[in-house]
């Protein structure tokens, strides 16, 4: 049951009133990026209007206010994912930078020639390429755990890959191309037997479910703000404090130092050791506002509502002749990836756009997934808290119409 | 329902998408180049048979959207019997037409390729239409590698 007013939520997102090609916008490209509630937009505007200055620098009032807002947002993130300490919350540009940070710091310090890194066959390019680069540099080997035709990880095969050579397991929490939610508890438990650190790519999972990093006992968790109703250009790397302490810094510069002479530099403590340079202050504040907004609604309520939407959309999609759903995992988030017989996803995208419907058509930065399902691309409708069953009806009706036009 | 799209998806395009012309692997081609649009995954292989500087046969394989399939299908029809220079001029004209430089387009030369003029209103789709022609251009320059629209 929906425990919140969907009308009220839609009111909170000003862009939903836009007309696209003279039709009301039906925004179903949320897995690419989410729209922003007024509270987030206002928080940024308020900061720039009343409270903006550089953080951790000045003794002047504005700098203190801006620092309070910035560090206040870090506290909100800490609570949102239930980290132990704000020292474990590193602000980065996004999931991609978070993963690259781990590859370049933890990876270079701990992974040597002959060591192995395990990923899955459903990863986004951002959780493939940084490891390939690291492997090329170090001589380590990338191992890929296979998936089945439903788009689920074959857990037994994953387990077989774990060995004394494994130095890191890096897996996606929820697949952007398939919607699959991985059995991360089991993955982490299996890795812990051999004390292997686990990184979860939470870019897709974080807006759809409550995440508790302590309950999961993951070592690293990475996510982006822009998929969490917050601004683009900001993201979070969570890491267990002991691991972060032991890691060398990422980039050198201001804020990440305690003392600099030309002979040597003493690095700052956590989390600043990994935050060189002036950060994206307003975006961090926006992320804090987004977290407040979502906490008010309740992540479990959001998860339940989106599960309802996905179930409704899946049932409707299955009645359309010539439509094949790509990704039918039992555990699945609010993503419906599909192909139509003899109609290319790009044509689907343009046709639906003319009806005001925004979906994604393409390989979703997961080309190996497309290869596995032997499709060049898929069309993907992805849902957020502000979507409705009426919008799904409009989508399905549009799909039926375009099938007719293509004949 | 899709009235807005009539300029983009003309009946000729649906026809070529359903029944692409010259859709076959060529035995012993003189030129063979792969074209790839990484943005959408469209992929085609273009084959040319040359006699001197004349294209005497053109065919293709691959998969793509209706726009890219129709574009390559129409292209293989129109370039047959053309010299390399004539084909390059067609490429120039086609490029001008799809990127909104109508002043440079000679309708006599462009012929039935004009059905693809509608893409100029859809910037996200221009590359679908031009992929075939960039691949042809690479083939004529005898670049035996794959080309990419990005």
Task: Give the domain ranges of chain B.
Answer: 3-142
Specify if A1 maps to a domain.
Answer: no
Contacts of A125 in chain B (CB under 8 A): none
CB B122 within 8 A of CB B29: no
In this structure, the answer to whether residues A292 and A303 fall within a common structural domain is no
Note the maximum CA span of chain B: 50
Q: Where are the alpha helices (DSSP H) in A217-361?
A: 241-246, 281-297, 299-318, 345-353
For chain B, list residues with pLDDT below 50. none
Average pLDDT, chain A: 96
Q: Is the CB of residue B11 less than 8 Å away from at least one CB of chain A?
A: no
Specify if A36 maps to a domain.
Answer: no
Specify if A355 maps to a domain.
Answer: yes
Contacts of B65 in chain A (CB under 8 A): 344-347
Is A34 a catalytic site residue?
no
Residue A289 belongs to what domain range?
41-296
A243, A249, A244: which is closest to A266 by C-alpha? A249
Average pLDDT, chain B: 90
Q: Is the CB of residue A350 less than 8 Å away from at least one CB of chain B?
A: yes
CB contact under 8 A, B1 and A406: no
The pLDDT of residue A57: 80
Distances (CA, A) of A298 to A208, A229, A293, A325, B20: 11, 14, 9, 29, 52
A204, A178, A205, A127: which is closest to A372 by C-alpha? A178
The pLDDT of residue A126: 97
CATH number of the domain within which A391 lies: 3.90.1150.10
Q: Could you give the ipTM of this predicted complex?
A: 0.88
Q: Is the CB of residue A45 less than 8 Å away from at least one CB of chain B?
A: no
**Where a domain ends, among A243, A270, A296?**
A296
Q: Is the CB of residue A361 less than 8 Å away from at least one CB of chain B?
A: yes
The pLDDT of residue A2: 62
In this structure, the answer to whether residues A177 and A188 fall within a common structural domain is yes
Enumerate residues 6+ apart whose C-beta is below 8 A from A312.
A389, A392
The pLDDT of residue B139: 93
CB contact under 8 A, B2 and A354: yes
In this structure, the answer to whether residues A188 and A289 fall within a common structural domain is yes
For chain A, list residues with pLDDT below 70. 1-2
CB contact under 8 A, A362 and B39: yes
In this structure, the answer to whether residues A265 and A182 fall within a common structural domain is yes
Shortest Cα distance, chain B CAs vs residue A133, angstroms: 20
Say how many CB pairs under 8 Å bridge A and B.
63
CB contact under 8 A, A347 and B64: no
In this structure, the answer to whether residues A221 and A309 fall within a common structural domain is no
What percentage of chain A has pLDDT greater than the value 90?
A: 92
Point out which residues pair with A166 in neighbouring strands: A116
CB A152 within 8 A of CB A175: no
Shortest Cα distance, chain A CAs vs residue B62, angstroms: 10
The pLDDT of residue B98: 92
**Where a domain ends, among A281, A296, A311?**
A296
Q: Please tell me the CATH code under which domain B3-142 is placed.
A: 3.90.1010.10
Preferred mutation among A344, A345, A403, A405 to probe B, highest tally of B CBs within 10 A:
A344
Q: Is the CB of residue A402 less than 8 Å away from at least one CB of chain B?
A: yes
């Amino acid at each position: 049951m929906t425990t919140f007013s969907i009308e009220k939520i839609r009111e909170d997102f000003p862009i939903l009133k836009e007309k696209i090609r003279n039709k009301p916008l039906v925004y179903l490209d949320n897995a690419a990026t989410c729209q922003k509630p007024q509270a987030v937009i206002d928080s940024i505007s308020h900061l720039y209007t009343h409270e903006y200055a550089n953080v951790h620098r000045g003794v002047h009032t504005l700098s203190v206010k801006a620092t309070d807002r910035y560090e206040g947002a870090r506290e909100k993130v800490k609570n949102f994912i239930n980290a132990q300490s704000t020292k474990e919350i590193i602000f980065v540009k996004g999931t991609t930078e978070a993963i690259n940070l781990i590859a370049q710091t933890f990876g270079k310090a701990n992974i040597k020639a002959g060591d192995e890194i395990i990923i899955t066959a459903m990863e986004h390019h951002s959780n493939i390429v940084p490891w390939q680069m690291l492997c090329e540099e170090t001589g380590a080997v990338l191992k890929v755990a296979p998936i089945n035709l439903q788009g689920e990880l074959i857990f037994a095969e994953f387990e077989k890959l774990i060995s004394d050579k494994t130095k890191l397991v890096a897996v996606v929490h929820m697949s952007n191309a398939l919607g699959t939610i991985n059995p991360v508890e089991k993955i982490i438990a299996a890795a812990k037997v051999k004390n292997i650190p686990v990184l979860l790519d939470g870019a897709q999972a974080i807006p759809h479910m409550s995440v508790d990093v302590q309950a999961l006992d993951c070592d690293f968790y990475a996510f982006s703000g822009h998929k969490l109703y917050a601004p683009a250009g900001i993201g979070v790397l969570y890491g267990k404090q002991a691991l972060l302490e032991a890691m060398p810094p990422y980039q050198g510069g201001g804020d990440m130092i305690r003392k600099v002479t030309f002979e040597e530099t003493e690095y700052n403590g956590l989390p600043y050791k990994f935050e060189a340079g002036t950060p994206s202050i307003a975006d961090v504040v926006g992320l804090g506002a987004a977290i407040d907004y979502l906490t008010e609604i309740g992540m479990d309520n959001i998860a339940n509502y989106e599960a309802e939407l996905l179930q409704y959309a899946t049932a409707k999609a299955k009645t359309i002749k010539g439509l094949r759903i790509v990704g039918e995992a039992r555990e699945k988030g609010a993503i419906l990836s599909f192909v139509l017989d003899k109609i290319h996803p790009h044509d689907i995208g343009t046709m639906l756009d003319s009806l005001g419907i925004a979906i994604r058509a393409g390989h979703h930065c997961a080309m190996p997934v497309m290869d596995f399902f032997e499709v060049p691309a898929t069309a993907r409708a992805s849902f957020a808290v502000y979507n409705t069953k009426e919008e799904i009806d409009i989508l399905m009706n549009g799909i039926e119409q375009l099938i007719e036009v293509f004949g | 329902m899709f009235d807005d799209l009539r300029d983009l998806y003309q009946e000729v395009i649906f026809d070529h998408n359903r029944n692409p012309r010259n859709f076959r692997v060529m035995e012993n081609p003189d030129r063979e180049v792969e074209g790839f649009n990484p943005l959408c995954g469209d992929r085609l292989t273009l084959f040319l048979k040359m006699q001197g500087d004349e294209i005497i046969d053109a065919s293709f394989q691959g998969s793509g959207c209706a726009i890219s399939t129709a574009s390559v299908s129409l292209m293989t029809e129109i370039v047959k019997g053309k010299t390399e220079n004539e084909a390059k001029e067609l490429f120039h004209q086609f490029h001008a037409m799809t990127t909104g430089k109508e002043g440079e387009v000679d309708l006599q030369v462009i012929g039935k390729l004009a059905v693809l003029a509608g893409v100029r209103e859809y910037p996200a789709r221009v590359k679908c239409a031009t992929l075939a022609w960039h691949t042809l251009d690479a083939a004529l320059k005898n670049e035996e590698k794959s080309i990419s629209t990005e």
